[in-house]
Amino acid sequence: METAISGNIQGFKQQGEALVIKAAEAEARVYIYSPTIIRICLSKNHGDTDTSFAVIQKPVPDFDFDESAEFIRINTSALKLRIHKSPLRFNFYTADSKPLSEDDERFGTTWQGSRVITYRKLYADEKFIGLGEKTGDLNRRNTSYTNWNTDAVDYGPKTDPLYKTFPFFIGLHSGLTYGLFLDNPHKSYFDFGATTDEQMSWFGADGGDQNYYFFGAQGVPQLIADYTWLTGRMEMPPLWSLGYQQCRWSYMSAAEVLDIAKTFRKKQIPADVVYCDIDYMEGFKIFTWNKKTFAKPKAMMDELKAMNFHLVTIVDPGIKIEAGYQQYDEGVKNGYFATYPNGEKYTGYVWPGRCHFPDFFRDNVREWWGAAFKALTEVGVDGFWNDMNEPAAWGQNIPWMVQFGDKDMPEVRNAYGTQMARATYEGTRKLLGNKRPFVLTRAAYAGTQRYSAVWTGDNSGTDEHMLLGQRLVNSLGITGMAFTGVDIGGFSGNPTPELMVRWNSLGVYTPMFRNHAIQGSKMREPWQWGSTNEQIIKKDIEQRYKLLPYIYSGFYQSHITGMPLSRTLAIEHPFDDLVFDTRFQNQFMFGDALLVAPVESTRLNADVYLPPGNWYRLNSNEKFNGDEIVNVAAPLTDLPVFVKAGSIIPMQHIVQSTAEKGDDILELHIWHNEEPGTFIYYEDDGISYDYQSGAFYKREIGFEPINRVIHLSAAAGSFTSKYDKIQLVLHGFGKVKLKNEVFTLENGVMEIGY
Ligand code: MIG
């Protein structure tokens, strides 16, 4: 096959929002989205429509450029783009002309048949982070990846691809940061210097346009903010979904589901959510209830509700081929299923047997699918778990000619999961009125944060998986997915009691805290591990509930800026080599204040890298100087968690579920530092969309060591806090008069001296 290297420019002109550049092999279109975001779309044949599953913003209407003999020059306030004319190359610089990212001078963008690849210059000290749910190390230098959403049963620490596609990475070199998002759902490739002799980095896809967004903001948080501005941010999640979630494949009957919920309440172990995996259905038919084992779903739901439990039910895309089954009949009648080019419906085998698959790429199919959730919402279900949407069928190999929307399978496979999650979200959002649905999906493409949370699929019950799962969560956070979780305990296999205890303690600091296990495994609920372990797990879950005011405020940050709760240390310290050291690469900040060090269950002490600053151990207040590797005790009762000095953490007293109002007291924990500290506190009803029209409660909390004062700004928003009082809890302040004082919460400015 001949390789076509994009040749010299033949001409260029402004056309609508784009600068259109004609070269021998292709046409390039350049768009500006903001001073720090420039889009390049290279194509041999641009389509008439410009659609994206991910991007929700529009380019600026026009922009200035000029030319020299060698270059077309485009400047924004933050970036310089130099487009080399002969041959066509795209090079990005900072406003003060430092190279950020440049085409490989020799090759630039090339085509081999429909496959398009861009070769880029690799900088000697360049590191890479991102790509979302990808195994491997935090620093992706010298590795390569493929995006092709796959039901990655039994995946290991090196398996690629997994379930999701997030073609966004961040490059770090010379003290500079940049980001690159290849918005192309075809099978795609990223190589971060894995090529022999580290000659280049490269990215591209099997087909479609070389359509990429270049981000030039300085600082990883700024890049995440820009990427999530472009692809959207999550809504506020239902507060109940941040509580403890108990899942299993499967609780086999309504009686068993209720028994699980009752046991949590009896044992006073807080929890908010229980799940129904595939066995609640009649013959695995989506949107049905098993007539024998779940005979009275409404009665079950009423009982669950009375105990303050929410139920999440699973749905798979495969619709059983069975005349008389409503979804099958409707789907056939209206042509809602994916077909072969001759119009015949594609058939695959999954749990129900022979199935057809909804074509979620069509508006009317998504609407139909969304409306069908009535069978679940009408009895009171408000959480919806989307599984098998890579899409997966036994054998996995869907023929490449199967059509979705107006495309063939390989052109859009990577976006199928997102389109299913979107249909689920949009449908249930309508059905639930003003209530927030909780949607959880396994497969996803960039932008899924607008519709759904994600989990990392079928992991295993080993220490290695606990650690790699944390890296997946941290990496998903870089690519806009702030609401993420792993199967705590590991999906397959049986964890040791020690691992189960350790993993639950890490779950406290995971955006979604969900326990799940494969069919046939030993039961996993907190009381299955002996009474001593039960007490430890209970304490950990209680810790989660204490931290909910802090966690919810953290989700508000994700909603407003895209910053995830679980943050690799590389976000704040991109040029600190120790952060990428494989000994410390799993460490992360959980929100602004907490540094968490995951530790295997077999090790009872750990080396922890504390970045510059002062730190306190959360559970003992022991003080540490940062910029140090410290060896600390890591008993199963106390995962190494540190608080950054100067942090403010709002906490509440233990409740059994998020529906409980508790005792009205919001604790304000402050860890002393010489520098002032601030925290944005956010609260709303946790259930409805009223926050979007002003019904929230938000205030800045600060402390100033020089003036010895703690202050709260006046409360913004029309919501009334559920807390009436605040209690100051001061750590590391030495002898002060107000150590545990309680104050009435006022809405105006509050100043408290200490
Ligand atoms: O073929 O619904 O990843 O969480 O329990 C397995 C049964 C299908 C895979 C999911 C897992 C779920 C399981 N599902």
| 736 within a domain of the structure (yes/no) | yes
Evaluate the omega torsion of the peptide bond into residue 352 and state whether it is cis, within 30 degrees of 0.
Answer: no
494 pLDDT more than 70:
yes
Q: Which helix (H) or strand (E) holds 551?
A: helix 548-561
pLDDT (0 to 100) of residue 739: 65
- Among residues 17, 102, 458, 487, which one is catalytic? 458
Q: Which helix (H) or strand (E) holds 752?
A: strand 750-753
Same domain, yes or no, for 195 and 114? yes
Last residue of one domain, picked from the residues 455, 472, 488 = 455
Question: In this predicted model, what pLDDT tens digit does every residue of 175-216 receive, in sequence order?
Answer: 999 999 999 999 999 999 998 888 999 999 999 999 999 999
CA of 53 to the centre of ligand 1 (A): 25
654 vs 657: CA distance, rounded Å: 9
| 604 within a domain of the structure (yes/no) | no
pLDDT (0 to 100) of residue 119: 97
Shortest CA distance to 242 belongs to which of 567, 443, 509? 509
- Residue 631 dihedral angles phi and psi, to the nearest 5°: -100, 125
268 vs 248: CA distance, rounded Å: 20
> What is the total count of domains within the chain?
3
| Candidate from 151, 247, 249, 286 with most ligand 1 atoms within 8 A of CB, to mutate | 249
End-to-end CA distance of the chain: 76
Q: How far is CA 674 from CA 225, 387, 618, in A?
A: 29, 49, 18
- The amino acid that residue 507 corresponds to is G
DSSP 8-state code for residue 198: G
Shortest CA distance to 584 belongs to which of 128, 127, 138, 132? 138
Same domain, yes or no, for 143 and 41? yes
Q: What is the mean pLDDT of residues 222-229?
A: 99
Q: How far is CA 700 from CA 3, 128, 680, in A?
A: 58, 35, 5
Same domain, yes or no, for 207 and 86? yes
Given a contact cutoff of 8 angstroms between Cβ atoms, the answer to whether 635 and 621 are in contact is no
CA of 104 to the centre of ligand 1 (A): 43
Strands 210-215 and 201-205, sheet pairing: unpaired
How many H helices and E strands in the chain?
14, 50
Angle at 479 between CA 474 and CA 484, to 5 degrees: 50
Same domain, yes or no, for 180 and 279? no
Torsion of CA 554, 555, 557, 562, to 10 degrees: 130
525 vs 527: CA distance, rounded Å: 5
% of the chain residues with pLDDT over 90: 95
| 638 within a domain of the structure (yes/no) | no
Q: What is the mean pLDDT of residues 381-401?
A: 95
CA of 353 to the centre of ligand 1 (A): 15
Same domain, yes or no, for 245 and 265? yes
Nearest atom in ligand 1 to 518's CA: 5
Across the chain, mean pLDDT equals 97
CA of 282 to the centre of ligand 1 (A): 17
pLDDT (0 to 100) of residue 349: 96
Nearest atom in ligand 1 to 249's CA: 5
Ligand 1 atom 6: the closest Cα is on which residue? 388
Ligand 1 atom 12: the closest Cα is on which residue? 249
382 vs 662: CA distance, rounded Å: 23
| 390 is a catalytic site residue | yes
Given a contact cutoff of 8 angstroms between Cβ atoms, the answer to whether 739 and 754 are in contact is no
Same domain, yes or no, for 126 and 254? no
In total, the chain counts a number of residues equal to 754
pLDDT (0 to 100) of residue 326: 98
| 387 is a catalytic site residue | yes
pLDDT (0 to 100) of residue 38: 98
Burial class (CB in 10 A: 0-12, 13-18, 19+), 239: buried
Evaluate the omega torsion of the peptide bond into residue 270 and state whether it is cis, within 30 degrees of 0.
Answer: no
| 635 within a domain of the structure (yes/no) | no
| 141 within a domain of the structure (yes/no) | yes
pLDDT band at 47 (very low <50, low <70, confident <90, very high): confident
- Among residues 104, 160, 390, 592, which one is catalytic? 390
Torsion of CA 551, 552, 555, 561, to 10 degrees: -110
1 pLDDT more than 60:
no
% of the chain residues with pLDDT over 70: 99
Question: In this predicted model, what pLDDT tens digit does every residue of 99-147 receive, in sequence order?
Answer: 999 999 999 999 999 999 999 999 999 999 999 999 999 999 999 999 9
Same domain, yes or no, for 203 and 58? yes
Looking at the DSSP assignment, which residues form a beta bridge with residue 565? none
258 vs 610: CA distance, rounded Å: 44
Last residue of one domain, picked from the residues 214, 231, 248 = 231
Looking at the DSSP assignment, which residues form a beta bridge with residue 689? none
Which two structure tokens, joined as six digits, stand for 432?
């639930």
Shortest CA distance to 367 belongs to which of 395, 407, 320, 330? 330
Q: What is the mean pLDDT of residues 498-519?
A: 98
- Among residues 133, 191, 316, 387, which one is catalytic? 387
Torsion of CA 479, 483, 489, 490, to 10 degrees: -40
- The amino acid that residue 532 corresponds to is T
| 685 is a catalytic site residue | no
Given a contact cutoff of 8 angstroms between Cβ atoms, the answer to whether 684 and 695 are in contact is yes
What CATH number does the domain containing 145 carry?
2.60.40.1760
What is the extent of the structural domain holding 712? 663-753
Shortest CA distance to 23 belongs to which of 88, 68, 110? 88
pLDDT (0 to 100) of residue 233: 98
Q: Which residues contact 100 (CB under 8 A, 6 or more apart)?
A: 79, 92, 93, 94, 171, 176, 178, 216
pLDDT (0 to 100) of residue 310: 98
252 pLDDT more than 80:
yes
Same domain, yes or no, for 222 and 100? yes
pLDDT band at 738 (very low <50, low <70, confident <90, very high): confident
What CATH number does the domain containing 742 carry?
2.60.40.1180
Same domain, yes or no, for 113 and 173? yes
| Candidate from 350, 388, 518 with most ligand 1 atoms within 8 A of CB, to mutate | 388
Nearest atom in ligand 1 to 487's CA: 4
| 115 within a domain of the structure (yes/no) | yes
Same domain, yes or no, for 344 and 430? yes
Least confident of 300-309, 365-374, 727-736: 727-736
Q: What is the mean pLDDT of residues 305-332?
A: 98
Angle at 383 between CA 382 and CA 388, to 5 degrees: 145
| 34 within a domain of the structure (yes/no) | yes
402 pLDDT more than 90:
yes
Nearest atom in ligand 1 to 250's CA: 5
Which two structure tokens, joined as six digits, stand for 392?
């997966």
Given a contact cutoff of 8 angstroms between Cβ atoms, the answer to whether 659 and 719 are in contact is no
Same domain, yes or no, for 317 and 205? no
Last residue of one domain, picked from the residues 231, 250, 273 = 231
pLDDT (0 to 100) of residue 703: 94
465 pLDDT more than 80:
yes
CA of 394 to the centre of ligand 1 (A): 13
Shortest CA distance to 395 belongs to which of 351, 353, 441, 348? 348
Beta strands in 375-508 (DSSP E): 383-386, 403-404, 407-408, 438-441, 444-445, 453-455, 484-485
CA of 723 to the centre of ligand 1 (A): 40
CA of 278 to the centre of ligand 1 (A): 8
What CATH number does the domain containing 302 carry?
3.20.20.80
pTM of the model: 0.98
Beta strands in 601-695 (DSSP E): 605-610, 614-617, 623-625, 628-633, 641-644, 648-652, 665-671, 677-684
Q: How far is CA 542 from CA 275, 652, 681, 753, in A?
A: 20, 10, 21, 31
Same domain, yes or no, for 267 and 386? yes
**What 3-state class would DSSP assign to 554?**
helix
Strands 566-568 and 588-590, sheet pairing: antiparallel
339 vs 277: CA distance, rounded Å: 28
Least confident of 2-16, 319-333, 479-493, 667-681: 2-16
pLDDT (0 to 100) of residue 395: 83
Chain position carrying tokens 């029309």? 718
pLDDT (0 to 100) of residue 43: 96
| 321 within a domain of the structure (yes/no) | yes
Instruction: List all residues whose CB is within 6 A of at least one atom of ligand 1.
Output: 249, 277-278, 314, 387-388, 442, 457-458, 516
pLDDT (0 to 100) of residue 2: 64
Ligand 1 atom 13: the closest Cα is on which residue? 249
